[in-house]
Amino acid sequence: MKQSYFKYISGLLLFGSNGIVASFIALSSYEIVLLRTLIGSLLLIILFFIGKGKITFYRHKKQFLWLAVSGIAMGASWISLYEAYTRIGVSISSLLYYCGPVIVMALSPLLFKEKLTAFKTIGFLSVLCGVFLVNGNAFDGSGDTLGILCGLLSAVMYSFMVIFNKKAGNITGLENAALQLLISFLTVTVFVGFKQGFIINIPQSSILPIFILGLLNTGIGCYFYFSSIGNLPVQTVAICGYLEPLSAVLFSVLLLKETMLPLQMIGAAMILGGAVFGECVKKKSL
């Protein structure tokens, strides 16, 4: 159990540092995501076969289709997120991105027949108010509206990724992660091919951060995450999961010297607090 906690928290902190590592890569957002998914998926596939994993997805054709949709949504989500990183910074982008789980919670009555209680509604409204406070400058014309839209789009795509992944319940663990990341890579490959072709000029100074992002943050991070969540209590996984956006905000403030206004800090607290509140009440009722 201690090992599972260590791996899970390590995975979350690695994910939380994605924006920091990406800030040292002098490439476009979609080029970064292309290289990240390529390196990460290759590593997961290697780990899958080293661990003598069994290939089962071909037995569940319909569920594999849902997993493929989830992988496409992951690719679109990451492209939007990394574009938001470059436009509005890591901290605000991360907060917007993690509105995704709250969108899933709001849609759960329609998709999973879960009851939307008053407490969940309060949590959802708290997140919405937090988003408004964090990005209030966009409404007076002084903020980067396109960057905020990219951040919100990343959250919507994140929710699609989670929803369709839930429908692939029999494809689990490292096989699930490897397939999803591979499909995400193929999605981004098609996008980049139409956008600019496949010639990417990588500056020498960006080579090391690219490998760190692909191998450590993506490959090892996904391995830690997916190999540990099955051994931990569901509520622990849900609540501790918010270490990712929290660490992303802290890392960006400490390492990138990003600043947040007092109202944005209140908004950040409302986003994280509302999301955690919704998760707590949901798991307690179950």
Check residue 204 and give its pLDDT. Answer: 93
Check residue 282 and give its pLDDT. Answer: 53
Question: How does pLDDT run across 35-44, given as a tens digit for each residue?
Answer: 999 999 999 9
Decide if pLDDT at 62 tops 70. Answer: yes
| Total residue count of the chain as it appears in this document | 286
Integer Cα distance of 235 and 136 in angstroms: 32
- Residue 262 or residue 157, greater confidence: 157
- Residue 175 or residue 276, greater confidence: 175
Q: At 256, which amino acid appears?
A: L
Question: How does pLDDT run across 44-57, given as a tens digit for each residue?
Answer: 999 899 988 888 88
Question: How does pLDDT run across 259-275, given as a tens digit for each residue?
Answer: 877 887 888 888 778 77
The pLDDT of 222-248, averaged and rounded, is: 76
When pLDDT is cut at 50, 70 and 90, the band that residue 142 belongs to is low
CB neighbours of residue 84 within 10 Å:
29
Q: At 283, which amino acid appears?
A: K
DSSP string, 138-185: GGGT-S-HHHHHHHHHHHHHHHHHHHHHHT-TTS-HHHHHHHHHHHHH
Decide if pLDDT at 239 tops 90. Answer: no
This prediction's pTM? 0.84
3-state helix, strand, coil in the chain (%, to 5): 80, 0, 20
